Structure formats: structure tokens, C-alpha cells
Amino acid sequence: MADVPSVEVISRAAVMLMSAAAERLGLAEEDPGSAAGRDLDEARRLITALAGLVTASAEYLGPHAGPLRDGLQALQRAFREGSTYPDPPGQGPGEKFTGPVY
């Protein structure tokens, strides 16, 4: 690990959180609403952790920051779309770090 640049460690952690959140949202399935592993409570936690990581480390990520932010916003929108009762703008997962996502 001593030879791995910090941007690489942060990026790997972000990708792991993104993948786990996508799984919990059921996005790997043809019909996300009926996916067996779908768990919006777990997805909320993962998305919020991702938002904190991406927001706190954006200045160090350089060109990696944009794609990570885009992926985060896509997950936030997918969460909103997949919720039976969507959170008000600014109160969705991670939005206390990123601001409202519509």
C-alpha cells in the first residue's frame, strides 16, 4: 500500500461504494424494483458515505473528481426514482454534502 498513490486509494474506495450502492438499488437487474438484493436503506447509507468521500477529497482527485461526482449524482437520482416516497430535495442520500439533486 505504501507505493499506491492516495488518489488511487480514494478512487478505489469510491468505486467500491458506487458498486455496492448500485447493487442495493437493484440496478444490475432488468427490473430494479423487484431485484432480490434491493435494499434502499442500505443504498442510502452507501450513497451518503460516497458523497462524503467524494466531497471531502474532490480537491485531491484531479481529473477523477468529475466522473466520480457524475456517478454519485446518477446513484442519487436512481435512489429518488426508485423510492416509493421520494425525499424532499436536499434531504436525499448524501445531499447534505452535495446539495439537492433533481
**pLDDT > 70 in the chain, percent:** 100
Q: By C-alpha distance, which of 32, 38, 21, 34 is closest to 93?
A: 21
Which triple of cell numbers denotes residue 19?
Answer: 458498486
Listed in order, strand segments (DSSP E) in the chain are none
Residue type, 10: I
Contact, 78 vs 94, CB < 8 A? Answer: no
Say what the pLDDT of residue 11 is: 96
Say what the pLDDT of residue 102 is: 85
How far is the C-alpha of 85 from the C-alpha of 91, rounded, in Å? 12
User: Mean pLDDT, to the nearest integer, of 12-20?
Assistant: 97
H/E stretch holding 62 reads: none
Q: Is the pLDDT of residue 32 over 80?
A: no
Say what the pLDDT of residue 69 is: 97
This prediction has a pTM of: 0.92
- Go through the chain and tell me how many residues it has: 102
Kindly indicate the confidence band of residue 28, based on its pLDDT and cuts at 50, 70 and 90: confident
Q: Is the pLDDT of residue 96 over 80?
A: yes
